[in-house]
Amino acid sequence: MELNRNGIGKSNEDMISVDKLRKEFKKTVKDPGLRGSIKSLFRPKTEKVVAVRDISFAVAEGEILGFIGPNGAGKSTVIKMLTGILTPTSGSCTINGKNPTQNRKSYVKEIGVVFGQRTQLWWDLPLRETYGVLKEIYEVPDDRYRKRMAFLNEVLELDDFIASPVRTLSLGQRMRADIAASLLHSPKVLFLDEPTIGLDVVVKDNIRKAIEHINGQEKTTVILTTHDLADIEQLSKRIVMIDKGSKVFDGTIAELKAKYGQIRELYFESDCKNAEQTLAYDRQFALGKDDLSVETEGKSVKVRFNSSIVPVSDMLSYTLGKINVSDISVKDADIEEIIRRLYGQGAES
C-alpha cells in the first residue's frame, strides 16, 4: 500500500490509479491590437501549454483524497480527465477498472461529479424536477429513488428549498443541491472540485459532515479539491499536492508535517520594549528569511523558525537568557503554514 501511495506500484485494490497523466492545451498567441488579430486570423500561431505534467497517484477504495495546489496548478484539469470530460494527451487513468474515455456511458454511471463553479441543475425549474429527470437519466428504480431522496434530504437539508426554482437558490443551497444531484445514483466514486467555494462557515461544516457521512456509510471513494485547508484537515488523511502541473507531495497529513513541519512557533510575552531588536535572532542564528519570521504585537511576540537549523531547546534557552518573559510556549506550525511554504517553492522537489 505504501508503494501505491507514491504511485510506483499498482494493485487491484486501488479504486483509482493514475499513470503519467498529461494534458497539453493549445493556446493561440496573438499580437496585441487589431493588427495582431488579423495576422492571427491568417497565420495562427499556437503555443503549447502543459497543464498537467505526467502525474501518477493511486486512491484506495473508501479513501478521501485531498487534492490541493495553488491556482492554475492543474487540479481541475486532472479531475476533468478522471471524469472523462477531457481526453488525456498521454498517460492513463483507471477508475474501478474502467477507462473514462472508453465506454463513457457505463463509466459515468459509477461516478458523481460536482464542479463548485458550475451547476448541473435545471436552471428554470423547481429543484425537485432536476432530481426527477436525473432519476430517469440514471435509471434509478422508484423505491430506491424514494429512499435515496429521503436520505439526501436528511443529510443535506434540502427540504427548505426543494420546491423553489433553481435560479432563486443561494450559493450555499445550490451547492448542497448539486452535491445531492451527484449522489442520487449512489456512485462509487465522487469527484468534488471546490465544493466549499464561497460558502459560509456553517454551510461548509454542513457539507463536510455530509461528505464524511456518505463516505462512512457507503464507502464512497472521494477526491476533493479545495483551497480551504480546513476541508482537508477534517475530511482526508491523505493529500496529493500539485504545482505547475507536477506532483510535489503525496502522503498523509502527518507525513507532511513530519517532512516539512520543522517550522515551529514560539510565543512569549515580555515587558521588554523592543524585544525584537534586543533578541536579533537573525544575527544570532544566521537564519534566512524562509527560516525565520518575527511578529510583535504589543507585549506578545510570535517567532516562527526552522527547528532543523535551530533546535527548540537552543531557541528557548537563548530567549530566556536574553530577556525577561512571562508566559512562553512552543507550537507545531499549522498545516496552512506548511502549505504556504510549499506553494511558494514551486515544483522543485
Ligand X SMILES: Nc1ncnc2c1ncn2[C@@H]1O[C@H](COP(=O)(O)OP(=O)(O)OP(=O)(O)O)[C@@H](O)[C@H]1O
Question: Out of ligand X, Mg ion, another protein, none, which partner does residue 85 contact, by CB within 5 to 8 A per kind?
Answer: another protein
Q: Which listed residue (74, 88, 187, 195) binds ligand X by CB under 6 A?
A: 74
Shortest Cβ 265–another protein spacing (Å): 35
Compute CA distances 257 → 137, 239, 247, 313, whole Å: 44, 12, 17, 20
> How many residues make contact with ligand X (CB under 6 A)?
12
Q: Which listed residue (108, 149, 155, 156) binds another protein by CB under 8 A?
A: 108
Question: Out of ligand X, Mg ion, another protein, none, which partner does residue 69 contact, by CB within 5 to 8 A per kind?
Answer: ligand X
* Secondary-structure percent of the chain, ordered helix, strand, coil, rounded to 5: 40, 30, 30
Contact 143, 194 (CB under 8 A): no
Compute CA distances 147 → 92, 164, 209, 219, whole Å: 36, 21, 20, 18
By beta-carbon proximity to another protein, the closer residue of 83 and 220 is 83
Per-residue cell: 138: 440514471
Per-residue cell: 234: 477534517
Residues 37-76, interacting with Mg ion (CB under 5 A) = 76
* Strand ranges inside the chain, DSSP E: 14-29, 45-60, 64-68, 90-95, 111-115, 189-193, 221-225, 238-243, 246-252, 263-270, 292-297, 300-306, 325-332
By beta-carbon proximity to ligand X, the closer residue of 118 and 128 is 118
Residues 15-34: x where in contact with ligand X by CB under 6 A, - otherwise, as a string: ----------x-x-------
H helix or E strand, kind and range, residue 212: helix 201-218
Residues 153-172: x where in contact with another protein by CB under 8 A, - otherwise, as a string: ------------x-------
Residues 38-77, interacting with another protein (CB under 8 A) = 76
Interface ranges with another protein (CB under 8 A): 25, 76, 80, 83-87, 101, 104-106, 108-109, 111, 113, 115, 117-118, 120, 122, 124-125, 129, 132-133, 136-139, 165, 193
Q: Could you list the residues that contact ligand X (CB under 6 A)?
A: 25, 27, 49, 51, 69, 71-77
